[in-house]
Amino acid sequence: MSTVITNIGELAGAAEDRWLMEDAALVIDGGHIAWAGPSRRAPAADEAYDAGGRAVLPGFVDSHAHLVFAGERAEEFAARMSGRPYAAGGIRTTVERTRAASDDELRANVRRLVAEMARQGTTTVECKSGYGLTVEQEERAVRIAASLVDEVTFLGAHVVPADTDPAEYVRLVTGPMLAACAPYARFVDVFCERGAFDADQTREILTAGRAAGLVPRLHANQLGHGPGVAIAVEFDAASADHCTFLSEEDVAALAGSRTVATLLPAVEFSTRQPYPDARALIDAGADVALATDCNPGSCYSSSMAFCVALAVREMRMTPEEAVRAATEGGAKALRRTDVGHLRPGARADVLILDAPSHIHLAYRPGVPQVARVWRNGRAVEFRHGNLS
């Protein structure tokens, strides 16, 4: 079954030579984009959809989320808003609740959040483990995630469990835990930060993960200056995520590598930390992605549109830069070439805004603007909070 989307006011990400086309059409055939170009040259298809002059974008690619969890931490958020600083230790609260939850409860929560994301135009979702911190619990997390999202990251190195020797825990992560989780994951990640894992521990874990066939990623430079970004580049990591505190050397290292700087502005909104300097990264030539970091502690938001608005307002990105970071940037952070754009051959993940331009994502923050979503060529429908 093929569908031609006609009367597109603004089509984004569908041509190699320019990011925006006006008065355009798009053809979906099966699960892929078959054609894109001027409306007057649109080929025939089995059915047609009139976009009514609306903007058509690639579906958002959320390349950083923590969805396998139980419970919430609203009181912790309220305390931060009252002046208490964010620290990595709050993760342990979610670990306790997640361990106590059943598989069905965790699976239902992931489904709920993925549906919530899709309603807001997110068609590719990455999910990390990290709220189990035992072999059995981490294996459960990646197994559940692998059945429900596009990309899975093993993050056994989220924090060291309470009353556990750090060296002993690193041996567990690089040994039995990695062996149990690697079959379900594509990436390995480490929270390289004070209160979590230091440089030597991070290198040891990434080395073991890479030897097991996983692609390195890294939580880097979120809470302060540190070695995370340099290690990410050293390991040719797919992404260095957070990048809140960067030195000139960090910016230059990212610009000279293929490691994507994944910025998570909704975290800064939720923790009252400084926003990353996206302008410095972009001007230096680094690849930049935007993602939500949806989790119950430091950022309980699933809205990529909100991240786009924050990036424009707080990180000095242009609307085009922000939307591209939320689509093709996220795809680069996942080392995917089939999503994040609408060129022929791409997976047919299509977002129609109830607006004439991508600019409205930042111009009208907080306003629902998703008119239609196709994921893998199928129109997304929502019933009682779940996808169908």
| Residue of 124, 192, 203 whose CA lies nearest to 376 | 124
Residue 341, annotated as binding a ligand = no
Q: What is the largest CA-CA distance in the chain?
A: 68
CB 321 within 8 A of CB 281: no
Residue 358, annotated as binding a ligand = no
Residue 219, annotated as binding a ligand = yes
Sign of the dihedral defined by the CA atoms of residues 111, 114, 118, 120, in that order = positive
Residue 73, annotated as binding a ligand = yes
Residue 171, annotated as binding a ligand = no
Residue 131, annotated as binding a ligand = yes
| Residue of 246, 301, 254 whose CA lies nearest to 274 | 246
46 three-class SS: coil
Between the alpha carbon of residue 37 and those of residues 49, 67, 87, 105, 379, the distances in Å are: 15, 37, 49, 45, 21
Our measurement of the distance from residue 126's CA atom to the centroid of its chain's CA atoms, rounded to an integer in Å, reads 6
What phi and psi, each to the nearest 5 degrees, are found at residue 131? -110, 25
Calculate ∠ Cα 329-305-317, nearest 5°.
55
Residue 66, annotated as binding a ligand = yes
Residue 384, annotated as binding a ligand = no
Residue 283, annotated as binding a ligand = no
Provide the annotated binding site for Zn(2+): 64, 66, 219, 293
Provide the annotated binding site for Fe(3+): 64, 66, 219, 293
Provide the annotated binding site: 64, 66, 73, 131, 158, 219, 222, 293, 295, 297-298
